[in-house]
Amino acid sequence: MKDLLATSIKYQQGTLLILDQHQLPHREQWLPCDSADTMIAMIKKLQIRGAPLIGIGASLLLAHLAEQGASAASLRADAERLRAARPTAVNLMICIDRMLATLTEQGPTALSHCAEQLFNEDIALCQRMADLGADLIADGANILTHCNTGSLATAGVGTAIGVIGAVKQQGKALHVWVDETRPLLQGGRLTTWEMDRLGVSHTLICDNMAALLMAQGKVDVILVGADRIAANGDFANKVGTYSLAVIAQYHQVPFYVVAPYTTVDANCPDGSAIPIEQRNPAEVQGVSGSFGKVNWAPDSTPVYNPAFDVTPAKLVSGWILDTGVYRPEQIVAGALTTL
């Protein structure tokens, strides 16, 4: 397989390396990944994260294992285990299904080419989303975003943050409000890191400050990513997104979803059919990262910790995909089922 280089994943000289996002922003550590067990553990620990990126990472790993001589049966078994590692993120399943189809039709030696295609395709579709989205953003806009949706979550420039980067490249003035994104702080740790790298003016806020900012007229548009979009436009994203959409509608702030076509699940009729991952209670009982671990609640405290929530399509102003910008009336007419 050719050398493939991105911000948070690289295949170089026969080794797959993952930037450990658990250690960011204070430490940039690359970790080798050479087994399905290691990749699954990394996905569950969020050392590699972002719906598009985990699909790419799993595909590169399968290609690497094929090059190491793994049998078709072994590759199939690993693929199925990887496919189940993140139940909400449909990109992972779509990438694995393409790899499995290639394995069945052409054999293990063809997996490297398929993985390279998926990697390069992600870069290209991220750029298309960025360009389409940037044209919607006015000069001087104040943008609010949730979780992390940049080059740490994709092989390319990202989804919502990709749009932000393209706005900057167009020479427009902008400012970004960064939700800290509890309970895992992907905004506070990762999006701020990316904003620094992009040279974008930004301010970190607690998640529960968003309504106040909108009431004060300090938010012009909201951009978020997605882990799965249903056929009717409902979508799952990092928990807290639904709250933003409700508040945005009340304050008449445009609310856009930015995601690649690989996030659309045409077989999922609506948001009620999207499986939602439940995560470790410890993530709510305290916080951990490169700085260590702090617990503020008793270990025995009951916790409800869904990783994602579902936002109804009726709260969305538009869906910015690599295939185009879709308005609510197009979604109602079934535009997402024909991608």
Which residues on neighbouring strands pair with residue 204, listed in sequence order? Answer: 178
User: Could you confirm whether 179 is annotated as catalytic?
Assistant: no
CB neighbour class for 325 (10 Å; exposed up to 12, middle 13-18, buried from 19) = middle
Residues near 223 by beta carbon (within 8 Å), at least 6 away in sequence: 133, 143, 144, 145, 149, 160, 163, 164, 256, 258
**Pairing relation of β-strands 15-19 and 255-258?**
unpaired
CB 71 within 8 A of CB 33: no
Considering 78, 207, 227, 309, which one is annotated as catalytic? 227
CA dist list (Å): 262 to 37, 229, 232, 238: 24, 9, 15, 17
> If you ran DSSP here, which 8-state letter would residue 36 be given?
H
Q: How far apart are CA 127 and CA 147, in angstroms?
A: 20
Going from the C-alpha of 320 to that of each of 122, 269, 275, the distances in angstroms are: 15, 19, 23
Cα torsion angle, 92, 234, 208, 282, sign? negative
Q: Residue 82 in contact with residue 109, Cβ under 8 Å?
A: no
Q: What is the CA radius of gyration of the chain?
A: 19
98, two tokens: 């393409």
Nearest-angstrom CA–CA distance, 116 and 107: 16
**3-state SS class at 264:** strand
Measured between alpha carbons, how far apart are the two ends of the chain, in Å? 29
By annotation, the residues acting in catalysis are 227
